[in-house]
């Protein structure tokens, strides 16, 4: 699967496959980076709206966030005082 993904990214000029080095991420100009960010925000917003409409997803996310908060709090309690 990874080789297929790399070939696809190479066909989109997002990855260059260099001899004796392997794949590297292509440089983006500022306009390309802005376009990608706009798409990311739009897709992320849409995914949030769709996910929020499903109670099971909301519950799973809340449980995940609770676990993250508990882990963080636990690490803070164990951290040496400076």
pLDDT above 70: residue 82: no
pLDDT, mean of residues 5-33: 91
Over residues 54-80, the pLDDT tens digits come to 999 889 989 999 999 999 999 888 877
Tell if the pTM clears 0.85, that is, is over it: no
28-51 residue pLDDT tens: 899 988 999 999 999 988 888 888
Distance (Å, rounded) from C-alpha 2 to C-alpha 61?
28
- Give how far Cα 10 sits from Cα of 13, 31, 75, Å: 5, 20, 42
Query: Using an 8 Å Cβ cutoff, are 11 and 17 in contact?
Result: no
Cα-Cα end-to-end distance for the chain: 47
pLDDT given for residue 70 in this prediction: 94
């Amino acid at each position: 699967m990874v080789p297929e993904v790399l070939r696809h990214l190479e066909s989109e000029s997002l990855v260059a496959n260099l001899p004796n080095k392997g794949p590297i991420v292509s440089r983006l100009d500022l306009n390309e980076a802005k376009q990608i960010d706009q798409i990311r925000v739009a897709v992320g917003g849409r995914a949030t709206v769709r996910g929020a409409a499903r109670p099971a997803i909301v519950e799973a996310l809340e449980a995940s966030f609770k676990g993250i908060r508990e882990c963080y709090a636990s690490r803070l309690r164990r951290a040496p005082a400076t």
